[in-house]
Structures are given as C-alpha cells and as structure tokens.
Structure 1
C-alpha cells in the first residue's frame, strides 16, 4: 500500500534541481574515506612488518607462512554455507519489510532481486539497496520512493540490531574485551533515547506540525509500528548468531583461539567497521588486528579473506540469478501492478 494511488518511477532530479554543492560534498566524502583507507593500510603494513621482523622473516615470507597454516578446505565449506544462509535470511527480511510497508510480494520473487543487488554491493552496499528499489519499480511497478524508504528502514534497523547484540556481547564477555568497549552500554542508552524520539516524531507526538515526515522517502517510518522493529530484530538475529558461530570456528581454522561468547563481544562492532565504505573492507581488517594484537599476521589474513570472500561469494550468488534479473528488469514495464 502506498501513500499515492499512482505508481511513479524513481527518477533522478533534473540537472537544474540538483542540490547545490552535492558534487562538492561527494568529492569530500570520497577523499575522506580514501584517507581512512590509506591510514588503515599504513597501520597494517607497520604492524605486519614489525611482526615479521620479530620472526626474522621478510614481510612476504611471514605472510606466506601465515596463509600456509590455514585449514582452507573446512574454512571454504564453512563460508560457502554461511553465505548461502545469510542470503536466505537477508531475502526474508527484505521480503517481510516490503510486505509491511509497500507491496505484497512473494519470497521467491525477491530472491533474484536481492541476489543481483549483491553484485553491485561488491562496490557499495548502500548503492546495492538503491538498485533494489529501482528493480522493483521497474519490474513490479512498485512506487519507487516508497521502496527506497523500505531500504532506509532496513539500514536504520541494522544499526540498532547490531548495537543490541554488541551490548549483549559486552555483558557476556566484558572481562576479555578492551577497556574502550565500556562505552558500548553508554552508547546503547543514548540510542534508546534517539529511537524513542524517532518513533514519537513519526507518530506525530513530537513536532506535530513539521512536514518532513510526509516525504515519500520516509514512507516506511510513518507506517512502522513497534512490532515491525521487533520483528526485524527477530528475523535478522539468526544471521548474526550464525555469523558468531562461523567466525569463531573460522578463527580457530586460522590458528587463533576463539570462543562463541568471546566473538559475540567483538563481531557486532567489527560489522560496524565493515559498513565503512573502504576498499577491501580495510577498516574491518584493521580492527581485527587492533583487537587481537598478539596475532597480527593471522588476523590480517583472516580479516582480508573473511570479509572479501563473503562479498565476492554473494556476488557469485547474484550471477546465478543474473539472467532472470536481466530479463525481468528489461522486459515490459509494469505500471500500477503493485499494491497492498
């Protein structure tokens, strides 16, 4: 169901109506994240070079030795299974969110859309979500801005879902976490306040005369009830718990001792770092090395292959659905066919 009776394509703004300075801010953003990437790789280089020197090896010899001691076959099977499970859960979350707020659509019809978006997500996860909005608008005639609002809703919920699990992990394993993690419960309390104000605003209880909430891009938040936020958490959480199991097992395959509860304390925070748009997930790789300083080589190798294999394998899943997605995307446009 949409706020509008007609289906409109998700068109970009005309050149004369683009926000002033948007190109300037985009350039600054790219430079900022490139600087973060450079800082991460510089840090990794000196940490790994230091570890290699302590072993009396060159950096190349040191890393070759690290990779040679990984149990690759069980790791590969583990990661392939996890990637497939994540894809199924991720598609379920997207399907339910679309059904809640925009259009009644079957799970199997979302599979090629979500899978194909993984190809774009190799470069940028958020652009991948935007591509899904365009895909649904083109294939099913779903209102473009309303679908985009669902993608925003999902991104918003992912922040709080990770924060809930980060807080849970902190209380289970605070004794083995770095001192800085004591800030997690403090951040969580602040997030509860922000969430409450957010819900009150979209219920019209806060700033009732403000019209920003009426924007089509915020459609999902106007429709959302507390049960939708709770259901998102319940639907998404199996993926996080599976990830904790997979990552703790994979760490041991890389020669690093790790337990389920210990990784539960680290992983949500690392997933926050993985969402930073740096090439090859440089921020997440660096954080692994920072959090496990006694295993620099293993953690650099682990972070690199773990995060990038996951992204690339998801892209491979997308290729399996690509022909169907291409056929649906460039077939006849459906107008006004989607609604709930």
Structure 2
C-alpha cells in the first residue's frame, strides 16, 4: 500500500473545513457582544469573585460536558450506528456555544451534522434529538421538583402542577407510541413504525 506524502495530502481535510470551527466560534462571540455591550460585560466582571466561582464551575462544567457527550454517544450508537466518542466532543462543544445565541439553533446544527456524519435521514436523527430533549427537560423538572419539595413554603403552590402535567404528558406520549395511538394522523406512512420522527421511540 502506498503511504506517500501525496496520498496523505489528498486525504487531509480541506483548509476551510479545519478553519470552520474557529470561524463559527468567533462569529458567536461577535453576536454575543453585539447584543451585550462589552463595557457592561467588563464592568460586571470587575465585581465577580473569580476564585470561588471558577473552583466550583470549572469542574462541574467539565463533568457535565463529558457526561452530556456520553449520553449523546450512547444514543447515537444505540439507534444509528457506531461513532467515536472523541468525534462527538467538538460537536457538543460547538452546540454549547451556538446555544448561547439560540438553543434551538444549536440543536438544529447538531442534528444536521450528525445526519451527514452518520449518513442517516435527517428526521431519524431529529427523533433521537427529541428524545434527548425530553430527557433533559425531565431532568430539569425533576431537580426543580426536589427543590420545591425541600422548600415548599418558598414557592407558589401552582408550580407543583408543572411536574404533574409533565408526568401526564410523558405517560400519554409513551402510551401513544407503544399502543399506536398516532396511526390515525394523516401522514404518508401507513404504519406508525415507519414514521422517521418516531424511530427512536418505537
């Protein structure tokens, strides 16, 4: 097999692809400081207590980032095919940066990339992204519910209906998927199992 330098050059990614993450990152920060004046940002930083903040947030952020990527990796491998964990780390990092501007834009960019990377139809990847969003919202509501139960007198009683409503929604949705309640919707696919948007849930 020929391992000449010419072959290595041919297989190397083009320059624009290597520069794209840097360009996207710079663009995101430009958009952020376009919406938030840099002078106001700098003034706020002068009042911050860096040492306690960074000592708590840096380990937690790194742990959550690695764990979040593990969950994404497990879902992609389970439902769509093999992909290396290290390949998803920059994807998740860029998603976090884009989410600073718009959360839905970050999820959409990740969906499009994974669809092209795994060569899987876009709606099937979107199904898994929706699954991850449901997990994320459930986790946040669970944490919030634990906080409300710990300090019940400090929150309005009406907020306790939120976890009840979310639990009811999940129950109806999962039951609908398992018992084919959505087959009556006027969609091109006759069988609910053929719907790409529900592929991860069936």
Inter-partner Cα distance in structure 2 for 1:200 and 1:154: 18
Q: Does structure 1 residue 189 correspond to structure 2 residue 164? A: yes
Q: Deviations over 1:198-234 (max 9, x none)?
A: 0111113535444655431232222xxxxxxxxxxxx
Among 133, 149, 152, the residue aligned to 2:127: 149
Equivalence for 1:73: 51
Among 156, 160, 163, the residue aligned to 2:141: 163
Distance 1:207 1:83, change over 3 A: closer
Q: Do 1:136 and 1:147's aligned partners in 2 also have CA atoms closer than 8 Å?
A: yes
Equivalence for 1:217: 197
Q: Does structure 1 residue 102 correspond to structure 2 residue 77? A: no
Displacement of 1:157 after TM fit? 2.2
Higher relative contact order (CA 8 A, sep 6+): 1
Q: Do 1:103 and 1:142's aligned partners in 2 also have CA atoms closer than 8 Å?
A: no
Displacement of 1:69 after TM fit? 5.7
Inter-partner Cα distance in structure 2 for 1:109 and 1:84: 17
- Computed over aligned residues only, the root mean square deviation of the Cα atoms, in angstroms, reads 2.6
Q: Does structure 1 residue 118 correspond to structure 2 residue 96? A: yes
Unaligned runs of 5+ in 2: 1-39
Displacement of 1:68 after TM fit? 5.7
Q: Do 1:197 and 1:206's aligned partners in 2 also have CA atoms closer than 8 Å?
A: no
> Per the alignment, in what secondary structure is the counterpart of residue 183 of structure 1?
helix
Equivalence for 1:24: none
Spell out the pairing of 1:197-216 with structure 2 (5 A cutoff): 197-210=172-185, 213=192, 214-216=194-196
Equivalence for 1:87: 65
Inter-partner Cα distance in structure 1 for 2:113 and 2:47: 44
Inter-partner Cα distance in structure 1 for 2:182 and 2:112: 32
